[in-house]
């Protein structure tokens, strides 16, 4: 099954949409909400397929095989859950990405930005063409051993190299387009996309980078040298991470999934991928609104809000 280009025109939808509803089968409320949305969509003439799966059942590229037949080309994927469910869905779609509407049934939800109470109105806005599609950087992570590829993974949030047990610091050499940039001595290194800048990168003290910028963010974990700070560089370059002397438990992780244990001189290569992860935004949902709400940005000093009085002290 190939993704449909119809939403790319961002014009009012004149024909039925083909919608896939995706979610975690073990998350409370997902099954009931999936059934409700499917009923609403079908009553409006849209074709719907539903895939609710346990976490262990998600795999790269699976959505197009799992949903083949009933819906034809998919125009829109509605993801029910949290950001973890969206990451799994992006991996599941593989190199055939489809626009995603994220409905937050989880906790924080930077990517799953819409509440379940907003979904019906949002679907109507999509049908009327009152929406925008925002593309986001994805990456490929290769693990090479003796110049032989042992694993390739498509990711959305970040690649991270972890020192692992016995939990002593390791050296990580960073090469940019083949040239040595620096050597980190730390507990690990995060290579994040802007989408992932509000995830593991933010927790490690890295910066927030607007999610539609094409860049990689390099944030060391507990670096031994104080001059090692986060670096932001272009996604047009190719980055190699080499660990000359890994710990027994050193490993490469992509989007929270263990990809491969690391041996001496293994090379972890990160580069921009050809597909783009696409989120649906509406006029009521934008980047800074999401940051304000999710990070609890107050926007002003205490007492300066609309209820503050203009008088002096009593």
- Of 2 and 55, the structure prediction assigns the larger pLDDT to 55
Q: From CA 43, how far away is CA 45, in angstroms rounded? A: 5
Looking at residue 284, its pLDDT comes to 74
Residue 3 is predicted with a pLDDT of 54
Taking only Cα atoms into account, the Rg of the chain, rounded to an integer number of angstroms, comes to 22
> At which residue do the structure tokens 């509440």 appear?
115
Secondary structure (3-state) at 157: coil
pLDDT score at 1: 41
Peptide bond into 166 cis (omega under 30): yes
Q: Are strands 179-186 and 251-254 parallel, antiparallel or unpaired?
A: unpaired
Tokens of 275: 């597909």
User: Taking the model in full, what pTM does it have?
Assistant: 0.87
pLDDT of residue 155: 97
Burial of 90: CB neighbours in 10 Å, binned 0-12, 13-18, 19+? buried
pLDDT for the residue 153: 96
Q: How confident is the model at residue 26 (pLDDT cuts 50, 70, 90)?
A: confident
Q: What is the pLDDT of residue 311?
A: 37
Q: Which residues are part of the catalytic machinery?
A: 83
**pLDDT of the residue at 100:** 95
What's the pLDDT score for residue 30? 93
Mean pLDDT, the chain, integer: 86
Q: Which structure tokens are listed for 244? A: 């000359």
For 83-129, what is each residue's pLDDT tens digit?
A: 999 999 999 899 999 999 999 987 767 888 888 899 999 998 888 88
Residue 293 three-state SS: helix
- The pLDDT-based confidence of 254 (bands split at 50, 70, 90) is very high
Domains identified in the chain and CATH numbers: 6-136+275-295 (3.40.50.10330), 139-272 (2.60.200.30)
Sheet with 148-155, strands from edge to edge, namely: 148-155, 139-145, 267-272, 239-242, 170-176, 179-186
What does 170-207 look like in DSSP terms, one character per residue?
EEEEEEETTEEEEEEEESEEEEE-TGGGGTHHHHTTPP
* Cα→Cα distances 222→168, 184, 234, 240, 252, Å: 11, 10, 24, 20, 17
pLDDT value at 2 more than 80: no
Cα separation, 67 vs 176, whole angstroms:
40
Mean pLDDT of 25-42: 92
Of the candidate ranges 28-32, 37-41, 270-274, the one whose mean pLDDT is the lowest: 28-32
Residues 6+ apart with CB under 8 A from 227: none
Q: What percent of the chain has pLDDT over 90?
A: 62
pLDDT above 90 for 190: yes
**Over the stretch 128-176, which tens digit does the pLDDT of each residue have?**
888 989 999 999 999 999 999 999 999 999 999 999 999 999 999 999 9
């Amino acid at each position: 099954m190939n993704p449909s280009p119809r939403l790319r025109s961002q014009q009012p939808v004149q024909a039925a949409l083909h919608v896939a509803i995706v979610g975690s089968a073990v998350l409370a409320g997902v099954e009931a909400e999936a059934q409700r949305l499917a009923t609403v969509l079908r009553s409006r003439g849209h074709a719907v397929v539903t895939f609710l799966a346990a976490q262990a059942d998600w795999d790269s590229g699976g959505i197009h095989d799992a949903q083949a037949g009933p819906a034809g080309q998919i125009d829109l994927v509605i993801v029910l859950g949290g950001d973890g469910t969206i990451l799994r869905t992006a991996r599941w779609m593989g190199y055939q990405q489809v626009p995603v509407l994220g409905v937050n049934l989880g906790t924080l939800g930077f990517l799953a930005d819409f509440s379940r109470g907003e979904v019906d109105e949002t679907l109507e806005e999509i049908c009327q063409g009152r929406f925008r599609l925002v593309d986001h950087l994805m990456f490929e992570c290769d693990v090479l051993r003796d110049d032989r590829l042992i694993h390739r993974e498509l990711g959305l949030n970040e690649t991270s190299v972890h020192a692992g047990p016995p939990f002593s610091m390791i050296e990580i050499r960073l090469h940019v387009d083949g040239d040595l940039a620096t050597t980190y001595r730390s507990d690990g290194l995060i290579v994040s996309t802007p989408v992932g800048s509000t995830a593991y990168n933010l927790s490690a003290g890295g910066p927030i980078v607007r999610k539609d910028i094409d860049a990689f963010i390099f944030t060391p974990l507990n670096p031994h040298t104080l001059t090692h700070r986060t670096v932001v560089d272009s996604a047009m370059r190719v980055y190699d991470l080499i660990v000359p002397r890994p710990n027994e438990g050193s490993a490469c992780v992509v989007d929270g999934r263990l990809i491969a244990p690391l041996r001496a001189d293994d090379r972890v290569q990160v580069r921009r991928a050809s597909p783009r992860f696409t989120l649906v935004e509406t006029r009521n949902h934008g980047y800074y609104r999401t940051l304000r709400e999710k990070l609890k940005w107050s926007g002003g000093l205490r007492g300066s809000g609309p209820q503050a009085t203009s008088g002096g002290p009593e």
